Structures are given as C-alpha cells and as structure tokens.
Structure 1
Amino acid sequence: MVERSKLYLYYIVEEVEKRGMPTEIALLPMVESAFNPMAYSRSHASGLWQFIPSTGKTFKLSQNWWADSRRDVVASTSAALDYLQALYEVHGDWHLALASYNYGENGVARAIERNRAKGLPTDYLSLKMPPETRGYVPKLQALKNIISNPEAFGASFEPIPNEPYFVTVPTPSAIDIRLAATFAEMSVDELIALNPALNRPMISGPHTQTLVLPADRVDAFQRNLDAYDQPLTSWQPYTMKGGDSLDRLAAKHGIALSKLKLANGITSRTKVGPGFQLLLPLKGSGVGAQPLPAVFRPPVQSATRRGAMVHIVKKGETLYGISRRYRVSTDSLLRWNHVGVLTTGQRLIIYRAPAKARKPVNPVKISAVQPKQNAVAAIAQP
C-alpha cells in the first residue's frame, strides 16, 4: 500500500493544498482503497476514492465501455475533493463531512435530525452511525499519527520527491495500450497503474483523449510516436450480426474465447447478440497470442471493506485444493477470477470476511493545512 501511494500521493497532497483543505484528506485513499485504483467494493464503489456509480455521475465521472473515470486518478481526485468541500459547506465540520463521505450525506443528515429531535448533541461522536463510519475518522487520524511519528510504531517512510511524478499528455485518436507503453519505454503494468480507468486493450473513445505518463518518459513517448509509421492499433470494432457467435468469431480471429470475453468485458450476465459491439483482433496482429494487460482482469474488491489477498498458484495445485485451504467455495474462486485451467504462477484474488470493527477512540481535531516540504512531511505536520 505504501509503495503504491508513491505514485499518487504528491499529486493528491498538492491538490488538497491548493484548496486549503486539511492535508489528512490526502490519506483517505489509504482508508478507502489501500491506494489501489482498481479496488472494487460489493456496493460497486470503484477507484482510489471509491465512488459508487450514481455519485460518480453526479460529479461528472464518466463510466462507459472504453473507460471508467472513477478509476482515473486525476478526474476522481478532483471529484472527491469537490464532494468533500460540498459536504463541509453543509456541515461546517470536517468530521461530519468525512462521515457523510463514508456513510452518505442522507444517512448523516438523518442521524443529526434524530439527535436534534431528542435534544442531543449533533457532533460526530454523539451520532448513532454504523461501526465502519464511527471508526472512519479515528482510522484516518491513526494513519496520520503513524506518519507523524513512525519510529513510535516501528515504521519508516522514505520522503517523496517534492516534484510531480506524472503529467498528462494528449493521445492519438486510437492506440494500443501495449504500443503506448512501448513508446514510453515502460512496462504495460506501469502504464496501467497511472491509467487505471482504461477498460479495453486500446485507448479510444471521447473520454480517453489524454494519457498519464511519468514526467521523465514524456519526451521518449513523443519521440517514438513521431517516428512510428505503422498502424497504431491491433484491434477493430465490430457489430455482431445475425448468426454470429462469440466462439466462431474468436476462432476466426485467432483469439481464445475466454480472452475475447475479457477484452470486451463480457461476463455471464452480458446479453450478447445482433447489434452487440465488440473489439476483434486485426488479421495478422498477433494479439491473440499475447496476454491481456492486468486492467482487464476482474476488479479487486476494496481491501478495507473486505479482506483480500493474492494467492500465486504453485505446480500441481487445483481449484478444489486452494478453496479448501482458504475455506471458500470453488464457485467463489471462479467468480472472483474468471479462470478455467490453472497455470503455475497465476495470481488468484481471494476474499475473506472482514474483521469485526473495534470501538473507535475519540477523534483528534483535524488540523489546518501546512506548507508542503514533501508529501509525507506535509501530512505529518501537526
């Protein structure tokens, strides 16, 4: 989690400071998603800031076939800070604003009205709310305490350089993710870590006109793009006709059926038939023989809302044996990972029931913003 945060924390702290908000807010993605932009909860919340679909739409985070802006680091951070500022304007209290972010503004409003009707205080600690919400602010404060005094907790943190790690650059109208990574001279996984909103193996569509790259890779990307004189995409859009079937289309285009489904986000619940649009490999592209980027694997549920772990398959292991080891059903393993035949080295996501929430301690007052030295130092300021 700490290692993942290094990609995003400078940017988030900078945006928080621009708005004069408490710097602890930059740690909210640790609480919400463990700084995993692919985190996905049972309530369908997604991204670093865990927006549910309806709230995402309210704050103009587009969710379409090509991309889900709830996972876009830049767009979702802007939306989350807009939302938190709006909640603060309603309550005039950061504890209540944070509680509303977690529990929902209507839930907190009802809790306040119940207390008012009984003549009771309406501060954060006095409200009757779910255990997760009552522990929300203390958890955030605990993270700040650890960062402020890591030695006391047996921890240490490397300073994050006081300069932007990434920048945004315009993209061509359509380009393969693999090719974009090649141009930037970085791995596909590194590219996706900065562009987790992408849903497909190619970048296209009206909401994917920019690409996030490490600041030191922009020149290489532009230089290699300008020098490239071959097609930028290995996929073609196709509208299914009467008589088409996914298995026949997969065989015709030299791609495994399971991979074709994964590339197009097709699950057992997807209605596929005439008029359905999908991406197919171009003839001779060879993409059917390549593994798809990790972005197209099933989303990881939020680790803070349900215990998640990764199991790396060893030689000779079976789904049944793994399910017995972790006390989950084989059906659950299949549903979480969309797997058929296991291969050595394959990564399986396994979810466990969350631990019972502990009674929260009194939250400490959230501090005012302080000038930034580096991202970690800024958050650690009293």
Structure 2
Amino acid sequence: MNLRHLLVLASVVWLAGCATAPSTSSYDGPLKPITRASPGTSKVTSLEYNSDLWERIRRGFAMPDLEHELVGSQEQWYGSRPDYIERMTTRSSKYLFHIVEELEQRNMPMELALLPYIESAFNPQAVSSAKAAGMWQFMPATGSYFELTQNAFRDDRRDVLASTRAALDYLEKLHRMFGDWHLALAAYNWGEGSVGRAIKRNERMGLETSYTDLNMPGETRNYVPKLQAVKNIIAHPEKFNIELPNIENHPYFQAVEIKRDMDIELVARLADVRLEDFKALNPSFSRPTIFAAGTTQILLPWDNAKVFQRNLAAYDDDQYASWTVWVAPSTMTVASAAQRVGMSETDLRSVNRIPPRMMIKAGSALMVPRSPQHRQDVSTHIADHGTLAFAPEITEVTRRTAVKVLRGDNMAKVASRHGVTVANLARWNDMKPTASLRAGQSLEVYKTVRVSAAPTRTAQVSKSTKASNTSKRPRATGTAKEKPVVTKVAQQARGDTPTKRKR
C-alpha cells in the first residue's frame, strides 16, 4: 500500500469519527419525534401576499359593527350611486396604500382608511364652508396644533403625508380620551369638548354613554353610520352591485428629495408626468415654485421617481426656478410694488392673488420673477413663515362740513382752526376775507380726508399663520358657542355629498 492509499484511508477513518462522535451537550437516549409546539404570541405574520389592497383592508377591519337603522339609509344612499363610488374609489387609489401602511404600523383599525371617503371623497383640494381643508378636513387652528404648516406658499392640511400623520395622531389622541372608536370618531366630527359634555350630561341623568345614546347634532349622528355603510360596501361590494376598481397592494408614489427651488412645471416635465397628476400627489403647493428650504421632498408616481432623478442629473440649465420671493419693506400700493420688482401690476396681482382695492402690507412675501438681483433660493424662514397680508387702499376725497362760529372768532381764527386759508373760507361762503362774524353763525368748510376704499382685509394665509402662533390645543366644538375643530366638506368632489352639511 503506497503513501497515497494510506492518506485516503486515514481521512475516511477521521471523517467517520467526526460523524459518530457525541456532542458536548447532554444526551438522554434515543431521538424522539418532534411534537407540535404552541406559538409564543398570537400575532404571527402571514407569509401570504395579497396583490389586492381591498382584501388587505378587509382583513384589517377591527371596529365593532354599528347596528343602527341609520346605517341602512346610508347604505341605500351610497348603493344607489355607483358612479359616485367609482369616482371616489378611483381617486383614492393614489393614497390608500400609504394610509393602510400607516394604520398597520400604528396597529389602528383599518376602517379609518375609509374615513376620507366621508370627509372629502378623497379630494385633497376639498375646502368646507368653515375653511376646513384637505382629505382629512383640518380646520386652520387644529392643523397648526398638529404642526401642519399654513403660509403664503403651501398648506400642509392638503399634504398627503403630513395630513395623514396629523389625522392619525389626532384619532389616536381621541381614542385615548374616550376609550371607544365610535366616540373618538364622533369627537373628530363634533369636537372632543362637545362629546365630553354630552357624556357627562347622560351620566348625570343615569343614561348610557355609548355613541347611539348621546344627544348629538344630525351630522354627527350620521357620521359613524356613513362610515359603517362604506365599510359594508367595501366588505361585500357584490351585495350592492358595486364594482370596485382594482388597487394593487403596492405603493403608488415614492418620496424624492429636492435640494434646489424648482418650478412645479419643470418637476413634472423632468418626471415625465402630467402637471395635474403631479398636483394630485402634491396638493399642498399653492404657488408655481417649490421652495426647497421649506419642502425637502416631493411625491412622484413610483415608476417616475427614477425618471425624475435621471433627468434632473442630466439637466444642464443652472436655473431650476423662474420665481423667487421678495419681501415688501413697507406698506405700499400694488402698482408701486410691481414697479420695484419689474412686473406689470396685472401679473403681480394674478400670481399673488391680490384682491382689488388692496395695498400690500409691510413684511408680505410676494412671488416675483427671478432676476440678476434676485437669484438666491428662498431662505428657510421665509419658506416656512412667509405671509401675505393686505390693507385697504387709502384715497383722498373732499367733504363739505358746516362749522359754527365761536364767540370772538374772526375769519382768520376760523380758517386757522380748520386748517384752511382765509381766502378759501371767504370764497366758499361768498364773503370778504375781512367780513365780521357773529357767534353761532354757520360757515361751510371743504376738507380733504383720507378714506379706505375697501374694508380691512387680511389674506387667509395670514390668518392661518396667526392661528399657528396662538393655538395651544385643538379647539373642539360644533355648537353655536364653539367653533368646530374638524368640519366636513360642504360640497364634495363634483358636487356629490351624502347629506346637507350644516357647517
């Protein structure tokens, strides 16, 4: 046997020894069959992937069903309007996946993903008669409390990510207060103070305090039934002869970082999306330019995000924005401001939405074209806090006034007291400048006075900004003595609305 054969034999013996050598752990005898063990937690993540977002939503329903006759009437209303359901659900396809993801991360009931159907028909541009705005219908003060910026350039109550975060924060807060999702929803509609007082009223009377037991306004009385009706339709669309649009269980949009001020039209062009589609995903922008200091990211359709980044990298023009901001150093007329920034008065009014017969107040932030004098990107302070406020135009008019002659007066004294010349006083009264006067005699005086051409008015953005500085907590109410925190849209998209809104 040669050396090669001896080495092979030694290797085999060594491997066999390794395979049969006992481990260092204790050994209790022959191996036993593995028995079924109980899981350590009941929350086991399913390996099944649902391509249908509707099914994912249905599996997340966790609120107790509301059994009430009003649910049936709301089902009938929605069920008889399949075209309305189709428009709402198609519009929601841009936003639902994000809301579902947020709810799952917070372990909140999936019914809340349907709430924007009730609030705004999933229209982020919806505005109620009480000035509530966005998909989730935040009032200015409540939006400010939940850190939704409202200024001259953007309104985060309409922002998809920010408003969803704020709405879920608010709903979580209300659920902690009342310990019941139906009462939390009532408070979202009517106000936490109103619901709290209604509960205490029932407690004093020895009555139950559930949602259906409270004495509430008609809108709040129908609020949860509407949500229950939509839930029932989503759960079993075939029962209502409703065909839901296919919504994939996949993100519709992707957040993309921007580092320079950029025109909205340029962003849409570089991303190869229609301008209206870009605005649907970024509804908070109210001006033609996005200021990077205040908005660090934008939303783009999933497949267009890489297109934008590639085209942006290849863009060879150093100017990304056609507009910048000029802050008025003093209160001035629109014509004067337009002359200073090199614009026509008409264009300045149009871009900044300046009402007629108004002056621009000092400190107002105006959108103006970029120029060699104005090429810098807008600062963070202006992007986050810029306001636009107006004062009524002041005009001079001449008014005739009757004045009385006092004891010891002469023409010179009367003229001096009223700030006119003796010659004019004599001419207005057809008298000589040296004419004698008697006490109590009436003379006519013509004075030039400054009057406002319109009532004092401040732009809504300024009101919102003021609210953000003064609001300490969400103001909840729906009664005559209180202002509602979150009101419902008076007119939903395309004029469709389940019931007549009272607020």
Compute the TM-score of the two structures, normalised by the length of structure 2.
0.55
Pick closer, same or farther for the CA change 1:269–1:34 going to 2, 3 Å.
farther
- Asked whether the equivalents of residues 34 and 303 of structure 1 are also in contact (C-alpha less than 8 Å), the reply is no
- Give 1:42-61 correspondences, 5 Å limit: 42-61=129-148
Query: Which of 238, 241, 246 is 1:151 aligned to?
Result: 238
Cα offset for 1:307? 3.3
In structure 1, the residue matched to 2:161 is 74
In structure 2, the residue matched to 1:263 is 351
Q: Aligned with 2:137: secondary structure?
A: coil
In structure 1, the residue matched to 2:223 is 136
User: Is 1:272 matched up with 2:417?
Assistant: no
Pick closer, same or farther for the CA change 1:121–1:189 going to 2, 3 Å.
same
- Asked whether the equivalents of residues 186 and 195 of structure 2 are also in contact (C-alpha less than 8 Å), the reply is yes
Query: Which of 216, 223, 234 is 2:310 aligned to?
Result: 223
Cα offset for 1:225? 0.9
In structure 1, the residue matched to 2:427 is none
Counterpart code for 1:94: W
Q: Aligned with 2:129: secondary structure?
A: coil
Cα offset for 1:12? 0.8
Q: Aligned with 1:120: secondary structure?
A: coil
User: Is 1:209 matched up with 2:354?
Assistant: no
Pick closer, same or farther for the CA change 1:262–1:115 going to 2, 3 Å.
farther
Counterpart code for 2:290: I
In structure 2, the residue matched to 1:331 is none
Counterpart code for 1:50: Q
Once residues 239 and 345 of structure 2 are traced to their aligned partners in structure 1, the CA distance between those partners, rounded to angstroms, is: 53
Once residues 182 and 113 of structure 1 are traced to their aligned partners in structure 2, the CA distance between those partners, rounded to angstroms, is: 57
User: Is 1:182 matched up with 2:327?
Assistant: no
Pick closer, same or farther for the CA change 1:241–1:80 going to 2, 3 Å.
closer
Which stretch shows the higher mean deviation, 108-117 or 242-251?
Answer: 242-251
Q: Aligned with 2:141: secondary structure?
A: helix
Query: Which of 490, 498, 501 is 1:306 aligned to?
Result: 490
The structure with higher relative contact order (CA 8 Å, sep 6+) is: 1
Pick closer, same or farther for the CA change 1:270–1:43 going to 2, 3 Å.
farther
Q: Aligned with 1:119: secondary structure?
A: coil
Which structure would you say has the larger Rg?
2
Q: Aligned with 1:278: secondary structure?
A: strand
- Asked whether the equivalents of residues 305 and 354 of structure 1 are also in contact (C-alpha less than 8 Å), the reply is no
Cα offset for 1:206? 3.7
In structure 2, the residue matched to 1:196 is 283
Once residues 17 and 78 of structure 1 are traced to their aligned partners in structure 2, the CA distance between those partners, rounded to angstroms, is: 13
* Runs of 4 or more consecutive aligned structure 1 residues displaced over 4 Å after TM superposition: 241-244, 247-256, 268-271, 350-354
Alignment deviations for residues 268-304 of structure 1 (CA, whole Å, 9 cap, x no partner): 59751444320112469xxxxxxxxxxxxx99xx996
Query: Which of 46, 65, 73 is 2:152 aligned to?
Result: 65
In structure 1, the residue matched to 2:250 is 163
Once residues 24 and 100 of structure 1 are traced to their aligned partners in structure 2, the CA distance between those partners, rounded to angstroms, is: 16
Counterpart code for 2:348: L
User: Is 1:246 matched up with 2:334?
Assistant: yes
Alignment deviations for residues 217-259 of structure 1 (CA, whole Å, 9 cap, x no partner): 11111111111122001113223356964346558856672x5
User: Is 1:236 matched up with 2:381?
Assistant: no
- Asked whether the equivalents of residues 333 and 359 of structure 2 are also in contact (C-alpha less than 8 Å), the reply is no
Q: Percent of aligned positions with the same letter in both sequences?
A: 45
Q: Aligned with 1:7: secondary structure?
A: coil
- Asked whether the equivalents of residues 114 and 227 of structure 2 are also in contact (C-alpha less than 8 Å), the reply is yes
- Number of positions where the alignment pairs a residue of Structure 1 with one of Structure 2: 302
Cα offset for 1:166? 0.7
Counterpart code for 2:171: L
Once residues 356 and 233 of structure 1 are traced to their aligned partners in structure 2, the CA distance between those partners, rounded to angstroms, is: 41
Once residues 270 and 309 of structure 1 are traced to their aligned partners in structure 2, the CA distance between those partners, rounded to angstroms, is: 32
- Asked whether the equivalents of residues 127 and 490 of structure 2 are also in contact (C-alpha less than 8 Å), the reply is no
- Give 1:27-38 correspondences, 5 Å limit: 27-38=114-125
Any gaps of 5 or more consecutive residues in structure 2? 1-87, 373-459, 462-485
Any gaps of 5 or more consecutive residues in structure 1? 285-297, 311-349, 358-382
In structure 2, the residue matched to 1:334 is none
Pick closer, same or farther for the CA change 1:268–1:225 going to 2, 3 Å.
same
Pick closer, same or farther for the CA change 1:269–1:141 going to 2, 3 Å.
farther
